[in-house]
Amino acid sequence: MTAIPLGVPRRLVEFTLDGQEARVPEGATILDACRAAGKDIPTLCQGDTLTPKNACRVCVVEVEGARTLAPACSRKAEAGMEVRTDTERARHSRKVVLELLASSVNLSTTPRAAEWIKEYEAKPDRFGPDAARVDEEPRVDNDLYVRDYDKCILCYKCVDACGDQWQNTFAISVVGRGFDARIAVEHDAPLTDSACVYCGNCVEVCPTGALSFKSEFDMRAAGTWNEAEQTETTTVCAYCGVGCNLTLHVQDNEIVKVTSPHDNPVTHGNLCIKGRFGYQHVQNRD
């Protein structure tokens, strides 16, 4: 018995990927094909359960005959397409995009960023010491999670997760324009005055650590955060009958944060405030 319904079989699209024949189901993206073929393309705004906004442009590839590069995460594979993932042109754009990002925001908590910067020989410092940065102070206005937009790459994932793709609360949006664009709630108020319901689904999808659990934020500030020492245990939330899957991240015998598996066919990584943040009673030892 399979847990996931298979649906109607889809037609296969045949195209060329780096000179090799590739076959993917209709509707699959170039990125899907790359991953199936074991190619590692950097991605930031792409998320496994959200429709990517293709805004970060680190996944660009060359499509034969196209004037510009294409975002692998969003461009669907088409029959007969000739795609090259590792050309000088594609690598150049990825390098510059990484430089532009790293020179304007803090990527220190973005998984794999350092590795890609090295691989593409990006030199974010070459824009000089006066290069404009986002330069924002972390916003700590509630006890559950912290918004540190100095780390935000404007990937739109949190907006989509809070909006019509996951949570349907629509508490946050991109505001302003150009380099001044930011994620904010209405009237740029504190989170506590907004429509936020503290489900933490935005934190779940944030690829940079711009949104983080207050627990994690505080431990990082204190220098006690140690991912290597953490264990992860997936269990079932006991609060209500929905029965969402929770992944407890435990360090030194304390729960330090709660995430949720995205491949769960019912919840896809979504939780509510209780499952996400209501874990203190578990470790209440008095």
Partner 1 sequence: MDLHFGDSKPTDEEREAVDALLGPPGSAWETAFGDAAVRSDADLRWARGGRAARERRDLLLPGLHAVNDRVGWISEGALDYLCRRLTVPPAEAYGVATFYSMFSVKPRPATVLHVCTDVACAAKGSAELCAGVEGRLGPGSGVSVERSPCLGLCERAPAALVVRAGAASGPDAAAGGGSGAAVGGGSGAAVGAGHGSVAEKPYATAVIAPATPEAAVLAASAPEAAEPEPAASLAVPQAGQPGLTLLRRIGVVDPASLDDYRSHGGYTALRRAFELGPAGVIREVTDAGLVGRGGAAFPTGVKWKATASQPDHPHHLVCNADESEPGTFKDRVLMEGDPYSLIEAMTIAGYAVGAHKGYLYLRGEYPRALQLLGNAIEQARARGLLGDDVLGQGYAFDIEIRRGAGAYICGEETALFNSIEGYRGEPRSKPPFPVEKGLFGKPTAENNVETLVNVLPILTMGAEAYAAIGTEKSTGPKLFCVSGSVERPGIYELPFGATLGELLGLAGKPENLRAVLLGGAAGGFVRADEMDIPLTFEGTRAAGTTLGSGVVLAIDDTVPLPRILLRIAEFFRDESCGQCVPCRVGTVRQEEALHRIAERTGAAAAGDIALLREVGRAMRDASICGLGQTAWNAVESAIDRLGAYE
How far is it, in rounded angstroms, from Cα 219 to Cα 38?
A: 36
Interacting positions 180-199 with partner 1 (CB under 8 A): 180-181, 184-189, 193-195
247 beta partners: 234, 259
How far is it, in rounded angstroms, from Cα 178 to Cα 176?
A: 7
Interaction partner, residue 237 (ligand FES, ligand SF4, partner 1, none; CB < 5-8 Å by kind) = ligand SF4
Amino acid at position 263, single letter: D
Rg of the chain's alpha carbons, rounded to an integer? Answer: 20
Interacting positions 110-169 with ligand SF4 (CB under 6 A): 152-158
Interacting positions 8-47 with partner 1 (CB under 8 A): none
Distances 52 to 29, 104, 218 between C-alpha atoms, Å? 11, 22, 30
47 beta partners: 50
How many C-beta atoms lie closer than 10 Å to residue 8's C-beta?
Answer: 5
Residue whose C-alpha is closest to residue 281's, from 258, 255, 252, 260 = 255
Which of 240, 263, 266, 282 is the binder for ligand SF4 (CB under 6 A)?
Answer: 240
CB of 193 to ligand FES, least distance (A): 31
Q: Point out which span in 141-149, 174-182, 235-243, 269-277 binds partner 1 (CB under 8 A).
A: 174-182
Residue 241 backbone phi and psi in degrees, to 5: -75, -10
Angle at CA 251, nearest 5°, toward 248 and 252?
Answer: 130
Q: Point out which span in 179-187, 209-217, 225-233, 235-243 binds partner 1 (CB under 8 A).
A: 179-187
Does 170 bind partner 1 (CB under 8 A)? Our answer is yes
Interaction partner, residue 171 (partner 1, ligand FES, ligand SF4, none; CB < 5-8 Å by kind) = partner 1
Interaction partner, residue 189 (ligand FES, partner 1, ligand SF4, none; CB < 5-8 Å by kind) = partner 1
Does 271 bind ligand SF4 (CB under 6 A)? Our answer is yes
Q: With beta carbons less than 8 A apart as the criterion, state whether 174 and 181 touch.
A: yes
Interaction partner, residue 152 (ligand SF4, ligand FES, partner 1, none; CB < 5-8 Å by kind) = ligand SF4
Three-state secondary structure string covering 158-186 = HHHHHCCCCCCCCCCEEECCHHHCEEECH
Residues at the site binding partner 1, with contacts judged by CB under 8 A: 53-58, 60, 68-69, 71, 74, 76, 89, 92-93, 95-97, 100-101, 103-104, 126-128, 130-132, 153-154, 156, 163, 168-181, 184-189, 193-195
Residues at the site binding ligand SF4, with contacts judged by CB under 6 A: 152-158, 183, 205-208, 210-211, 237, 239-240, 242-244, 271-272, 274-275
